[in-house]
Chain A
Amino acid sequence: MIKIESLKAAIGGKEILKGLDLEIKKGKVHAIMGPNGAGKSTLSKAITGHYEVEITGGDILYKGESITKMEPELRALKGIFMSFQNPVEVPGVTNAYFLREALNAKMEFEGKEPLNPADFLRMAREYCEILGMDPKMLNRSLNVGFSGGEKKRNEILQMLILKPDFIILDEIDSGLDIDALKAVSQGINRLRNADRSFLIITHYSRILEYVKPDYVHILKDGRVTKTGDYSIVKDIEERGYSEIGERL
């Protein structure tokens, strides 16, 4: 699905990713864990084309195509989605309107007819129910006045509606209570299939108890230093990041 080769990336002139290699396979769930400042969020920003990130070396291949110079919207239309760590608020634009614009942009890109408002609303309400969201939130300004948990659920709602192929979940579990975590995890698991890949970025193992990853990577100092299965998570819990540094 996605192959990252010797990726170097800087933010504000400071090199954060220092030759990162990572391959995410189709239909698999990968988790990236690592200490603060390791470059986890920079990696997600680099994949999605964030304006702060300057790619200084290496490449990102998505479905075999280099995307490092691609506009963020085109990456999204081709199926890359990131659930934001801190979703921004957009006053005056209703959640429903934004979601329908995004969905219609995708459908147009795929040469499909846009969904009519009634069908869209029906679908959005159904997903709200799955996520334990009040459907009234569809009529509120995008993320404005949403609690931390509501924002995260709203990110998953967008994911369910857009049905992307490659999904990055950047600290989706931070700030969630146990009920919200379960609801969000249920939303994620609903989309798991043989064609869709996930990259879960997290500090903690909590979310990984609900969304079991196929692979776990440790990111330290801008590089992947260890790759393994779910058992790595147990190691981290017991020994911390500082002792798990050997590169495979």
Chain B
Amino acid sequence: MREIELLKSDPGTLGDFCGAKEEKFVDMLKSLKMPSKEVEHYRYFDMEYLLSKNYYLIDKKSSRSAENSNRLVFENGYLKEAPKEFISRSGFSAQEHFDPVYPLSHLLSCERVSLEIDRDVTLEVSHVNTLKGALGAYRISLRIKSGAKVLIKERFEGEKGSGSLILFGWDVDIQEGSLEFVTISEPKSEGAVFVGSHYIRADKESFTGYRSYALGSGTVANIALIELEKSSRCEASHLVFAMERASVANITKIVHKKSDAATRQKSRHVLKDKAQAVFDALVRVEKDAEGASVHQENRTVLLNDGAYMVAKPQLEIYIDELEASHGSTTGQIDPQELFYIRSRGIEELKAKKLIITGFVNELIQEAPKECIEEIGVAFERLFATE
């Protein structure tokens, strides 16, 4: 392991650490500049602070020894298990990305895996980090072919990895298929920080479900660029239960490249204590994307005064006619709702839970069955100290 001071590093030299130097990413990072508070969403999700710490970079492993498995497991920066039947030689990545963490992650990645899937499959993915003070970076490339439906369920374990930063990400090319991408993180205040930077290209008539669940007290960020080709659909949903000093960011840019594409993006945040969250979501409808349908909505409940929400749903539209809506609300539990429920004999805490259950219900309905219990536990944690 070698020590690395990221903010003092030149983009041109970053790839030297792991031999992952690709000029495309060097140029991208030079153009975007290192993540800093100059980027609006990083004013509130303090990426600059995360990068300013001294880390030991996890080096490239000399020989690959991933076990064959039906799961994908990354442990301490390395691929530990992978379904070999899907391993492919050729990778895939974005030519452009809006966020500097994306090229940074590519340049620092010491581990890369490429997958190609041509049949319906559910892929469970684990990201485990037990190292302290480490910087790990790795990338996963996935091509979904021949109309295959792929469900990815991604989980994180990092409670033992205090002071570590894991920059990972997916590059997904959906070729007339379907992707349900479910990322469930339960960040702990003393645990590793996982920052995912993704690129998803949805080819014509394909479907992308991008669903993130952040349930905890630590720091986590999900950054995604999703490009929609003709008649493709994207459903993005983000559920955040954050408490203590949690910092959670959902940063997305969904681009309608061609006609008749549709986006529906919803987020629900419930923030407690001094938790803060960022929802910075842009949907861009380009000039060749006639017939677009875009609906974007964020709603946040702050359970107390110290919690903080930055919500920025945005539409950027370059066509004359489309179906579009967007909106955002942030507030505390409506005292009138609370009184109404209490006036029917339901005690205050239960009444609050009922209101919040209703508030997040729509997104919970969309969650995979296996996640419901975790969401329930996280929900109870939110109210445990009341």
Interface residues of A (CB under 8 A from B): 48-51, 71-73, 75-77, 81-82, 84, 87-93, 98, 101-102, 105-106, 109, 141-142, 158, 162
B residues 311-355 near A (Cβ < 8 Å) are 334-337, 339-348, 350-351, 354-355
Whether the Cβ atoms of A82 and B343 lie closer than 8 Å is: yes
On chain A, the residues within 8 Å of B85 by CB distance are: none
Counting from the closest, the 9 A-B pairs by CB-CB distance are: A92-B358, A92-B361, A93-B358, A76-B345, A102-B344, A105-B345, A72-B342, A73-B342, A77-B345
Whether the Cβ atoms of A90 and B343 lie closer than 8 Å is: no
On chain B, the residues within 8 Å of A48 by CB distance are: 343
Whether the Cβ atoms of A91 and B359 lie closer than 8 Å is: yes
Whether the Cβ atoms of B346 and A87 lie closer than 8 Å is: no
Listed by A's residue number, 22 A-B pairs whose Cβ atoms lie within 8 Å are A48-B343, A71-B342, A71-B348, A72-B342, A72-B343, A73-B347, A75-B343, A76-B344, A76-B345, A77-B345, A84-B343, A90-B337, A90-B355, A92-B357, A92-B359, A93-B355, A93-B358, A105-B347, A105-B350, A106-B345, A109-B345, A158-B344
Whether the Cβ atoms of B358 and A91 lie closer than 8 Å is: yes
Whether the Cβ atoms of A72 and B339 lie closer than 8 Å is: yes
Q: Is B22 an interface residue (CB 8 A)?
A: no
Beyond A91-B359, A92-B361, A142-B358: 11 further Cβ-contacts under 8 Å?
A: A71-B347, A72-B343, A75-B343, A90-B355, A90-B358, A92-B359, A93-B358, A101-B346, A101-B350, A105-B345, A141-B358
Nearest CB in chain A: distance from B268 CB, A: 10
Nearest CB in chain B: distance from A33 CB, A: 23
CA distance A142 to B335 in the complex (A): 16
Tally of chain B residues near chain A (CB < 8 A): 24
Whether the Cβ atoms of A90 and B341 lie closer than 8 Å is: yes
Whether the Cβ atoms of B336 and A88 lie closer than 8 Å is: yes
Provide the main secondary structure of the chain B interface. helix
Nearest CB in chain A: distance from B220 CB, A: 25
Q: Is B96 an interface residue (CB 8 A)?
A: no
Q: Is B113 an interface residue (CB 8 A)?
A: no
On chain A, the residues within 8 Å of B350 by CB distance are: 101, 105
Q: Is B362 an interface residue (CB 8 A)?
A: yes
On chain A, the residues within 8 Å of B359 by CB distance are: 91-92
Whether the Cβ atoms of B345 and A73 lie closer than 8 Å is: yes
Whether the Cβ atoms of B347 and A93 lie closer than 8 Å is: no
Q: Is B360 an interface residue (CB 8 A)?
A: yes
CA distance A48 to B341 in the complex (A): 12
Nearest CB in chain B: distance from A100 CB, A: 11
Whether the Cβ atoms of B346 and A73 lie closer than 8 Å is: yes
Nearest CB in chain A: distance from B356 CB, A: 9
